[in-house]
Amino acid sequence: MCNKNVYNFTVGELMKILQQYPDDMPVVVSGYENGYENFYHPFLKKVKHMPENYYRDGEFQIDDNGTDVLILEREVRND
């Protein structure tokens, strides 16, 4: 059993959230460097695919004319 004080979501909780979206909706994650983090509640944004970007800038960028995707954004810690 997981310690709910440490993790933001369980598989079951995430599955319930994901069932609200179309099966073919793309999913992207935020990230940078190494290690792993909790993530915020998934949300929708429009993004544009920009594979030529420097790896630290991400392969996708927010764009109002882009494709709808579900984003799993990593939790930002300030420590």
Residues 47-72: pLDDT tens digits? 999 999 888 888 999 999 999 999 99
Of 45, 44, 43, the closest CA to residue 64 belongs to: 45
Predicted confidence (pLDDT) at residue 4 exceeds the cutoff of 90: no
Give the global pTM. Answer: 0.83
Residues 16-30: pLDDT tens digits? 999 999 999 999 998
CA quadruple 11, 15, 18, 20: dihedral positive or negative? negative
What local confidence, expressed as pLDDT, does residue 55 receive? Answer: 84
| Beta bridge partners of residue 28, listed in sequence order | 71
Average pLDDT over residues 25-37: 85
Predicted confidence (pLDDT) at residue 1 exceeds the cutoff of 80: no
